[in-house]
Amino acid sequence: MKMSLLAVVPFLCIGPAFAQDAAGPDSAQLYAQTTAATVIILAGEGAGRLRDVATGVVISKDGTILTAWHAVKGALEVQVRLSNGEVYDRVDLVGTDERRDVAALRVTAGGLAFLTPAESLPAQGDPVYAVTNANGLTFSATSGILSAIRPAEEVPGAGTGFRLLQFTAPVAPGASGGALVDKKGQLIGIITGGMRGGAAFAVPIDSVLGLPASGQRVVLGSGSSLQMPAKTAAQVPQSSAALGDVRPKQILHDAKTIHISSKTSFLTVDTLIRALTLEKNWDQLGLTIVQDPRLADVMIEIDRPLFTYVHTFVMTDKRTSVVLGSGKVTAFDGTIASGGIADEIDKIFAAQRLPKAEKK
């Protein structure tokens, strides 16, 4: 099912799973109450430069909001926009749970629409719904079923020591921090950045309800100059010249995570990962390979153009699409080529991350 921009076509695009249920509100009511409590989170890096767009959900009438921790972590400017058009530039961070990737924010407001936590989780196979800001399309609705409740250890890259709700409602970048609700419109989870093979995940609401009471309080700064992008970053690649102060060397130095994708069956992602882990500097680089591109700082795409033996790679900054490095290796076999490509990638990172004396 495709996601729909319900702010434009509110009821025709919700889909059959939003049909009326005798035990809860109909589709129009579900959409209205969930959207009213859904917010847009804009995170910036200073001077009005937008870094991330995420979703948040209001859980109390006095302005307490839950969202994705990775979306606001390190942000110098944060702005919260309500579905009714109201904008809050003063945002306080009042609680974090890095393990579950959830943060609690607060804005100075009263009488806000909010979602009530469900007393219990739905059964496997029950319908679930989400309203998010996925791909920059604000307040889009999707529906699906609860597939499973499973330990995070069973989801590659998710972490350990907590549960996750697996569901089938389609989500995309920008959906992180959004509400997952049951057929009664009650809040059952906060959508996380993890997605594997078409499955999406949320943190059960009962495990993060205590965050606002943690005693933490940090002012995240004014977001008054932040603006929603006309298009997503993926649709509008930016050059380093246009970004001015974005320096590839600094990005390579600061990066924590990388995501690898392949456009060819001749050289697979797993083959390149194995080659990278065998590189002489790999253990000293401090990089983590992630399966979810939304969690990556640097993107690496590999390819082998048709009818050639040339294997190529391009490294880009996930946030800005600035090219950080590229190269090519000519080899009959992808396994052989992987060694040369891994060596080039290793050298590019090592040049910015390791002192000269440590480079082998």
pLDDT in tens, 154-208: 888 788 999 999 999 888 888 999 999 999 999 999 998 656 556 899 999 999 9
DSSP state of 169: S
Kindly state the tokens that stand for 23.
């035990």
Q: Which residues pair with 5 in a beta bridge?
A: 140
Residue the block writes with tokens 């891994």: 342
* 21 pLDDT more than 50: no
Quick count: other Cβ atoms within 10 Å of Cβ 193? 24
Pick the catalytic residue from 52, 70, 182, 343. Answer: 70
Listed ranges 94-108, 293-307, 310-324; the one with the highest mean pLDDT? 94-108
Looking at residue 239, its pLDDT comes to 33
Looking at residue 225, its pLDDT comes to 66
Looking at residue 23, its pLDDT comes to 52
Report percent pLDDT > 70 for the chain: 83
CA atoms 155, 159, 164, 169: torsion sign:
negative
* 219 pLDDT more than 90: no
Q: Which has more confidence, 204 or 257? A: 204
Q: Which has more confidence, 141 or 223? A: 141
Active site residue 97: no
Domains of the chain: 4-222 (2.40.10.120), 241-353 (3.30.160)
Kindly state the tokens that stand for 167.
């569901």
Using CA atoms, how far apart are residues 345 and 272, in angstroms rounded to an integer? 10
DSSP state of 123: P
Looking at residue 170, its pLDDT comes to 84
Active site residue 101: yes
* 150 pLDDT more than 90: yes
Report the SS3 class of residue 220. strand
User: Using only C-alpha atoms, what is the Rg of the chain?
Assistant: 22
Looking at residue 171, its pLDDT comes to 83
Looking at residue 228, its pLDDT comes to 66
Alpha carbon dihedral 181, 187, 190, 195, in 10-degree steps, equals: -20
* 294 pLDDT more than 50: yes
Looking at residue 322, its pLDDT comes to 81
Q: Which has more confidence, 18 or 175? A: 175
Which range (19-28, 101-110, 112-121, 131-140) has the least confidence?
A: 19-28
Report percent pLDDT > 90 for the chain: 48
DSSP state of 214: S
Pick the catalytic residue from 4, 83, 143, 176. Answer: 176
What mean pLDDT comes out for the span 294-300?
Answer: 87
Classify residue 89 as exposed, middle or buried by CB count within 10 Å of its CB (0-12, 13-18, 19+). Answer: middle
Looking at residue 114, its pLDDT comes to 96
pTM for the model: 0.59
Using CA atoms, how far apart are residues 187 and 181, in angstroms rounded to an integer? 5
Looking at residue 358, its pLDDT comes to 52
H or E element in which residue 165 lies: strand 163-167
Query: How confident is residue 12, by pLDDT bands cut at 50, 70 and 90?
Result: very low
DSSP state of 78: E
| Whether the Cβ atoms of residue 19 and residue 6 lie closer than 8 Å to each other | no
What mean pLDDT comes out for the span 121-137?
Answer: 90
Q: Which has more confidence, 12 or 120? A: 120
| Whether the Cβ atoms of residue 182 and residue 189 lie closer than 8 Å to each other | no
Using CA atoms, how far apart are residues 285 and 271, in angstroms rounded to an integer? 19
Query: How confident is residue 91, by pLDDT bands cut at 50, 70 and 90?
Result: very high
Looking at residue 68, its pLDDT comes to 93
Q: What single letter denotes the amino acid at residue 131?
A: V
**pLDDT digits 0-9 by tens, 50-88:** 888 899 999 999 999 999 998 898 888 899 999 998 999
- Polymer length of the chain: 360
* 6 pLDDT more than 90: no
Pick the catalytic residue from 97, 101, 292, 297. Answer: 101
* 1 pLDDT more than 60: no
Kindly state the tokens that stand for 120.
């219990």
Active site residue 26: no
Report the SS3 class of residue 224. coil
What mean pLDDT comes out for the span 105-134?
Answer: 93
Looking at residue 244, its pLDDT comes to 36
